Amino acid sequence: MIKKVSPAFLERESSLKLIFFGGKGGVGKTTCACATALQLAEGKPDKQFLLVSTDPAHSLRGAFADLTLPNNLEILELDAAASLHDFKAKHDQVLKEIGERGTFLDDEDLQGLMDLSLPGMDELAAYLEIADWLQQDRYHCIVIDTAPTGHTLRLLEMPDLIRRWLVGLDTLLAKHRYIRRHFTGDSGLDHLDRFLLTMSDSLTAIEKLMSDQELCRFVIVMLAELMSVEESFDLANALKGRKIPLLEMVVNQLIPANDCPTCSARRKRQMFALKGALVHLREQQFWTLPLFPEEPRGKAIASLWSQTQPLEQIGVLSKSSFELPLKVEYPIPLPARSARLLIFCGKGGVGKTTMACATALRLHKQYPSLRVLLFSSDPAHSLADCLGLAVKGKPTQILPGLDAQEVNAEGAFDKVRQEYRDELEGFLAVALPRIDITFDREVMEHLLDIAPPGLDEIMALTSVMDHLDGGCYDVVVMDSAPSGHLIRLLELPELIGGWLKQFFSLLLKYRHVMRLPKLSQRLVDLSRKLKALRALLSDRDKTSLYAVTIPTNLAMEKTAEMMVSLHQLGISSKGLFINQITPTNDCKLCHAINQREDYQIKQASEILFTGQPLAKVFLQFNSDGLERLQALGSVLYVP
Are 450 and 110 spatial neighbours (Cβ–Cβ below 8 Å)? no
Structural contact between residues 615 and 576, judged by C-beta atoms closer than 8 angstroms: yes
* Confidence grade of residue 434 (pLDDT, cut at 50, 70, 90): very low
Residue 268 predicted with pLDDT over 50: yes
Q: Residue range 107-122: average pLDDT? A: 49
Q: Is the pLDDT of residue 53 over 80?
A: yes
Residue with the bigger pLDDT between 14 and 354: it is: 354
- Say which residue, 572 or 402, is predicted with more confidence: 402
Task: Check residue 246 and give its pLDDT.
Answer: 93
Domains, the chain, with CATH or none: 12-83+123-157+211-310 (3.40.50.300), 328-410+465-490+541-638 (3.40.50.300)
Round to the nearest angstrom and report the end-to-end CA distance of the chain. 63
**Highest mean pLDDT, choosing among 115-119, 452-456, 487-491:** 487-491
Residue 169 C-alpha from the chain's centroid:
28
| Nearest residue to 143 (alpha-carbon basis) of 247, 246, 22 | 22
Instruction: Give dist(CA 247, CA 251) in Å, integer.
Output: 14
Amino acid present at 451: A
DSSP conformational letter for 605: I
pLDDT at 563 over 50: yes
Q: What is the CA radius of gyration of the chain?
A: 26
Active-site annotation holds for 55: yes
Identity of residue 600:
Q
pLDDT digits over 401-420, tens only?
A: 999 998 776 666 677 667 76
CA 54 – CA 304 distance, rounded (Å): 22
416 and 84 Cβ atoms separated by less than 8 Å: no
State the sign of the Cα–Cα–Cα–Cα dihedral 153, 485, 343, 533. Answer: negative
Task: Pick 1 or 94 by higher pLDDT.
Answer: 94
The per-residue pLDDT for 554 is: 74
pLDDT digits (tens, 9 = 90+) for 274-286: 887 887 788 889 9
pLDDT value at position 375? 92
Nearest CA-CA partner of 95 in 170, 176, 175: 170
Residue among 536, 552, 535 at smallest CA distance from 544: 536
Phi, psi torsion values for 81, nearest 5 degrees: -65, -40
pLDDT reading at 162 higher than 80: no
* pLDDT for residue 396 is more than 90: yes
Angle at which helices 191-210 and 158-184 cross, to 10°: 150
Which helix (DSSP H) or strand (DSSP E) does residue 398 occupy? strand 396-399
pLDDT tier, 116 (very low <50, low <70, confident <90, very high otherwise): very low
Nearest to 55 by CA among 38, 37, 80: 80
Kindly name the residue from 55, 170, 378, 479 that is annotated as catalytic: 55
For the stretch 573-622, pLDDT in tens is 899 999 989 888 889 999 998 999 999 899 888 888 888 899 999 987 66
Q: Using H for helix, E for strand and C for coil, what is the string for 552-581? A: CHHHHHHHHHHHHHHHHCCCCEEEEEEEEE
Are 179 and 439 in contact by the 8 Å Cβ rule? The answer is no
Closest by Cα among 611, 513, 518, 595 to 551: 595
Measure the CA–CA gap between 461 and 463, rounded to whole angstroms. Answer: 5
For the chain, what percent of residues have pLDDT higher than 70? 73
Distance CA 149, CA 585 (A): 35
528-562 residue pLDDT tens: 777 788 888 888 889 989 999 999 887 888 888 88
Please tell me the predicted confidence (pLDDT) of residue 335.
93
Nearest to 223 by CA among 20, 29, 484: 29
Statement: the pTM of the whole predicted model exceeds 0.75? no
Question: Which of 142-151, 511-520, 570-579 has the highest mean predicted lDDT (pLDDT)?
Answer: 570-579
pLDDT of 488 reads 66
Q: Average of pLDDT values for 65-84?
A: 82
Cα atoms in the 13 Å half-sphere on the side-chain side of 183: 6
Q: What does the angle CA 529 – CA 533 – CA 538 come to, to the nearest 5 degrees?
A: 155
User: Mean pLDDT throughout 444-459?
Assistant: 59
**pLDDT attached to residue 439:** 45
Angle (CA) 122 478 371, round 5°: 155
Segment 304-349, tens digit of pLDDT: 999 999 987 665 555 555 567 789 999 999 999 999 999 998 887 7
**Averaged pLDDT for residues 45-49:** 95
108 pLDDT more than 70? no
pLDDT value of residue 117: 41
Instruction: Provide CB contacts within 8 A for 188, sequence distance 6+.
Output: none
Q: What is the pLDDT of residue 93?
A: 73
Residue 111 or residue 358, greater confidence: 358
pLDDT at residue 413 in the model: 64
Asked if 495 and 452 touch (Cβ cutoff 8 Å), the reply is yes
- With pLDDT > 90 as the criterion, what percentage of the chain qualifies? 27
Query: Which 3-state string (H, E, C) describes 427-464?
Result: HHHHHCCCCCCHHHHHHHHCHHHHCCCCHHHHHHHHHH
**Is residue 106 over pLDDT 70?**
no
Is the pLDDT at 110 greater than 60? The verdict is no
Average pLDDT over residues 252-273: 86
341: burial class by Cβ within 10 Å (0-12, 13-18, 19+)?
A: buried
Residue 326, pLDDT score = 86
Question: Has residue 525 got a pLDDT over 90?
Answer: no
What pLDDT, on the 0 to 100 scale, is given for residue 41? Answer: 95
Residue 117 is given by DSSP the state -
CA distance 120 to 106: 26
What pLDDT band is residue 424 in, cutting at 50, 70 and 90? low
Euclidean distance between CA atoms 35 and 304, whole angstroms: 6
**Average model confidence (pLDDT) for the chain?**
79
What pLDDT, on a 0 to 100 scale, did the predictor assign at position 95?
Answer: 66
Q: Count the helix, strand and coil residues of the chain and give each as a percent rounded to the nearest 5.
A: 50, 15, 35
